[in-house]
Amino acid sequence: MSVGDIYATDAQKLAVAAAEARRGAAEGGIPIGAALFAADGTLLGSGHNRRVQDDDAAMHAETNAFRNAGRQRSYRDTVMVTTLSPCWYCSGLVRQFGIGRVVVGDDQNFLGGQEWLAENGVEVSVLNDATLIGEMREFIAGHPVLWNEDIGEG
């Protein structure tokens, strides 16, 4: 997976975000991954939650992917793909920069601002990938304190 490669389908795009989530898990972090794509499926940037790794509560998966994508002239035609329903902070990022579409891998373990995004004209697609849901459920069960810290309920 590298920047510039084309990922045509939502499943292929989600696989990029899932690989980021697993990379985060391998680093001892919170396993949430994201990736930003151009309209034609070109990968612009990807990233994962780095709260633990960077001691930075603001480095969510979507934020990390967004920053790794660098400056874009317009975000209207871009697609933000995330393994877990975007929190309010990341939903705000989507609105702030006018990202046109969001693909969510799992809204079962956490439900963020995706409905608010949809109400405000963002195209939201929820895939609810069984493997991702299982992996996240396992992480939450094994790391309840870290999880509650990440969702702001610590």
User: Of how many residues is the chain composed?
Assistant: 154
Catalytic site includes residue 149: no
> Looking at residue 5, what DSSP letter applies?
-
Residue the block writes with tokens 């969001």: 102
| Residue with Cβ nearer Zn ion (17 or 90) | 90
Centre a 10 Å sphere on the Cβ of residue 123 and count the other Cβ atoms it contains: 12
Q: How big is the site for Zn ion, counted in residues (CB under 5 A)?
A: 4
101-104 vs 79-82, strand pairing mode = parallel
Q: Which of 62, 119, 138, 153 is catalytic?
A: 62
Query: Tokens representing 101?
Result: 């579409």
**Minimum CB separation from Zn ion for residue 93, in Å?**
8
Among 12, 52, 53, 89, binds Zn ion (CB under 5 A): 89
| Residue with Cβ nearer Zn ion (32 or 133) | 32
CB 12 within 8 A of CB 21: no
Percent helix, strand and coil across the chain, each rounded to 5? 40, 15, 40
* Residue 101 touching Zn ion (CB under 5 A): no
Name residues contacting Zn ion, limited to 17-76 (CB under 5 A): 60
| Residue with Cβ nearer Zn ion (43 or 84) | 84
**Minimum CB separation from Zn ion for residue 88, in Å?**
8
Q: Which residues pair with 126 in a beta bridge?
A: 104
Among 35, 87, 103, 104, binds Zn ion (CB under 5 A): 87
Active site residue ranges: 62
Residues contributing to the site for Zn ion (CB under 5 A): 60, 87, 89-90
